[in-house]
Amino acid sequence: MKKSFLILIIIYFACQNIFAQGVRIDNLPPQEAVKYVKPLSTYLGTFFNTGAYHNADVPDLFGFKFSIVGTLTFLPESEKSFAPNPGLEGSENFESTATIFGTQGGYFLSNTGFVVYPSGLGLKNIPLGIYQVAGSLFGTELMIRYFPTIKKDNVQAGLWGIGLKHEISRYFPLLPLDISVQLLLNRLKIENKSSDPTDYAKFESKNFALNVQASKTFAGLLIIYGGLQYESSNLDVSYYFKDPDGVFPSLADRIYDLKVDGDNTFRLTVGTALQLSFFVLNFDANITKQTTLSAGMSFEF
Amino acid sequence: MKRLLAISTVLTLSLLLNSCDPFEEYFINLKMDQQFQLYGIGPNITQQTNFCLNNYDDYNDNVDKIEQIKYVDAAYLTINASEGLNSDNLSLKLYESDGNTLLFDYNLPSFVASDYSNKALHIQLTQTEKERINQYLSHHQQNNCFVAVLTAENVRSNNSLPYFSLQAKIEFVAELKLKP
């Protein structure tokens, strides 16, 4: 119970970090804000589409599973910076600048003075966890993730996710492997709303995945599993553009709604699990744009 | 069985422990605007202004996390000026807070104010001047104030009256290196 509570806290504070110092999406015009937050869209797609399985076998009659999944996502250097293109005349010193995960915001000299881009969170990697419960009947499993919307200060955050999995190898009893297909949908919403409308920001992440997974159990103890997954992610962002440098007067002082697609398409997962009576420990590697390791502990029967 | 359990535990613990420090140093660019109002009957018009790093929110919000502050860049922009205002030399001097120790002295001969009303002037300092500022900023807890003096020498304009005015802005950019 303490661990699941810890996971909730981690998710919550990870959400709060988005509004931390240095991360100032409100300093960017919409065309630059899209590039700034795109790696976040990719990350959320990567995170939510991780850890959804460690065994393709679904009980023929009834099954139950409670899992805590920890993930560690490695951020490639290409996801930490982008080339600014503010579309201003007379700009000099175009250098790459930080994305939301980067370390160094750029700056350049425009006709009307310096334009300063925000820094990022300065992250090397992202550890994050989630819990999930699943129940199955007749070879079909429904998985649920849920974190109620809670509010602290001006930030409120909540998430839900579902997964539907069906074992297809049950129709082919001679197959040496267990094979299943699984559909995943996950949503996360974070909103920063205070009495000052210029502080408004909202992030809503929508993630979809469809996978084919296979596993083989040895001696009822060791499971080797893997899968190929198609996935997509989208981040809806609403924010108030303040234009602190005063160089985009025609765009300033209004709320923008952006749709930011993540770079999530396919992933390959390989992993292993150890089945110890009602407990299962698993570890897998996910090869995708943001390589992710995942470890899980499950209580299942 | 025990060995498998031990390996799994070590892997899980390793994942958790390595994840404890996901942050690295990061940098914020602090932009400092200073406005000048120069006016008078000439031949020189000048104004001195004092400013401190703690006049700026980005500095105050991060002051406890600052590992280093570095001077990065500066620019000049004319906001408003007497019609046709020009001068033999535009001088910008930056001093430490005592007002005596010079950090840099930038000069632009044959200054025409209107040339920089729609196109900022990039103030490029020598390496020695940058190092002098950075040396001063290396003790930013104490040395965080400056005195800036902008002077237009031997001013002329199209006005029939011998009265000159120049409203201008100097922007400085500094880089704050912050602890994770």
A32-56 residues labelled b (16+ CB within 10 A) or e (exposed): bbbbbbbbbbbbbbbbbbbbbbbbb
Residue A84 lies in a domain: no
Cα–Cα distance, B95 to B50 (Å, whole number) = 9
For residue B8, the chain A residues in CB contact (below 8 A) are 274, 281, 283
Contacts of B77 in chain A (CB under 8 A): 112-113
d(CA A197, CA A216): 55
CA angle A8, A17, B14 (to 5 degrees): 60
**8 Å CB contact of A116 and B31:** yes
Residue A12, domain member (yes or no): no
CB contact under 8 A, A72 and B178: no
d(CA A138, CA A265) in angstroms, rounded, equals 31
Do residue B11 and residue A283 have CB atoms under 8 angstroms apart? yes
Question: What span, in angstroms and rounded, lies between the C-alpha atoms of A99 and A75?
Answer: 11
pLDDT band at B25 (very low <50, low <70, confident <90, very high): confident
Within a domain: residue A288? yes
Show Cβ contacts of residue A2 under 8 Å, excluding neighbours closer than 6 positions. Answer: none
pLDDT in tens, B100-132: 999 999 999 999 999 999 999 999 999 999 999
Least confident window among A71-85, B16-30, B73-87, B133-147: B16-30
A148 found inside a domain: yes
Considering only CB atoms, B120 lies closest to which of A113, A120, A295, namely A113
Nearest to A104 among B15, B27, B73 (CB): B27
- Residue A63: the pLDDT is 94
Average pLDDT, chain A: 89
* B contacts of A274 (beta carbons < 8 Å): 4-5, 8
Give the SS3 label for residue B19: coil
User: Has residue A163 been placed in a domain?
Assistant: yes
The verdict on a CB contact (< 8 Å) between B16 and A121 is no
Residue A8 lies in a domain: no
Taking the CA atoms of A85, A90, A94 and A97 in sequence, report the sign of the dihedral they define.
negative
> Which chain A positions have a beta carbon within 8 Å of B118's beta carbon?
111-112
Given pLDDT bands bounded at 50, 70 and 90, which one contains residue A91? low
What six digits make up the tokens of A285?
Answer: 């590697």
A195 located within any domain? yes
| Total count of domains within chain A | 1
Give A189's strand partners.
A158, A204
Cβ–Cβ gap A114/B173 under 8 Å: yes
- Contact call for residues A69 and A163 (beta carbons, < 8 A): no
Query: Which chain A residues contact residue B3 at CB under 8 A?
Result: none
Q: Report the gap between the CA of A98 and the closest CA in chain B (Å).
A: 10
Burial class (CB in 10 A: 0-12, 13-18, 19+), A288: buried
Percent pLDDT > 90 in chain A is 71
**Looking at the DSSP assignment, which residues form a beta bridge with residue A219?**
none
pLDDT at B2 (0 to 100): 53
Q: How far apart are CA B174 and CA B172, in angstroms?
A: 7
| Of the candidate ranges A80-89, A223-232, A258-267, the one whose mean pLDDT is the lowest | A80-89
Inter-CA distances, A136 with A63, A143, A226, B126, Å: 5, 9, 20, 71
- Return the number of other C-beta atoms located less than 10 Å from residue A19's C-beta: 17
Q: Which long-range contacts (CB under 8 A, 24 or more apart) does A296-300 make?
A: A296/A51, A296/A54, A296/A67, A296/A68, A296/A69, A296/A70, A297/A67, A297/A68, A297/B12, A298/A54, A298/A65, A298/A66, A298/A67, A298/A68, A299/A65, A299/A66, A299/A67, A300/A63, A300/A64, A300/A65, A300/A66, A300/A67
The answer to whether B24 contacts A123, with C-beta atoms less than 8 Å apart, is yes
Structural domains of chain B, count: 1
- pLDDT tens per residue across span A182-192: 999 999 999 98
Q: Identify the residue among B14, B19, B60 best suited for mutation to test binding to A, counting A beta carbons within 10 A and taking the highest.
A: B19
Q: What is the pLDDT of residue B161?
A: 84
Query: pLDDT-based confidence at B12, cuts 50/70/90?
Result: low
**Which residue do the tokens 């103890």 mark?**
A221
Mapped onto helix, strand or coil, the DSSP state of residue A43 is helix
The tens digit of pLDDT for each residue in A213-222 reads 999 999 989 9
Greatest C-alpha distance within chain A: 73
Q: Phi and psi at residue A51, in whole multiples of 5°? A: 75, 20
> Among A21, A122, A297, whose Cβ lies nearest the Cβ of B62?
A21
Helix (H, G, I), strand (E, B) or coil at A106: coil
What pLDDT score does B37 carry? 96
Task: Choose the closest CB to A124 out of B24, B28, B169.
Answer: B24
Range(s) of the domain holding residue A144 = 29-75+122-300
pLDDT at res. A6: 43
Q: Which two tokens stand for residue A89?
A: 């005349």
| Nearest CA distance, A138 vs chain B (angstrom) | 31
pLDDT tens for A124-145 read 899 999 999 999 999 999 999 9
Does the predicted interface ipTM exceed a cut of 0.90? no
One-letter-per-residue 3-state SS of A46-65: HHHCCCCCCCCCCCCCEEEE
Q: Is residue A149 part of a domain?
A: yes
Range of the domain at B157: 26-178
Given a cut of 50, whether residue B97 has pLDDT beyond it is yes
Mean pLDDT value across residues B19-34: 83
* A277-289 pLDDT, tens digit each: 899 999 999 999 9
Name the residue facing B122 among A21, A92, A107 (closest C-beta). Answer: A92
Residues of A in contact with B33 (CB under 8 A): 113
Contact call for A70 and B25, based on CB within 8 A: no
Choose, out of B15, B65, B79, B118, the residue to mutate when testing the contact with A (most A CBs < 10 Å). Answer: B15
Verify whether the Cβ–Cβ distance B27 to A103 is below 8 Å: yes
Cα Rg of chain B (Å, integer): 24
Across the interface, which of A103, A105, A118 has its CB nearest the CB of B24? A103
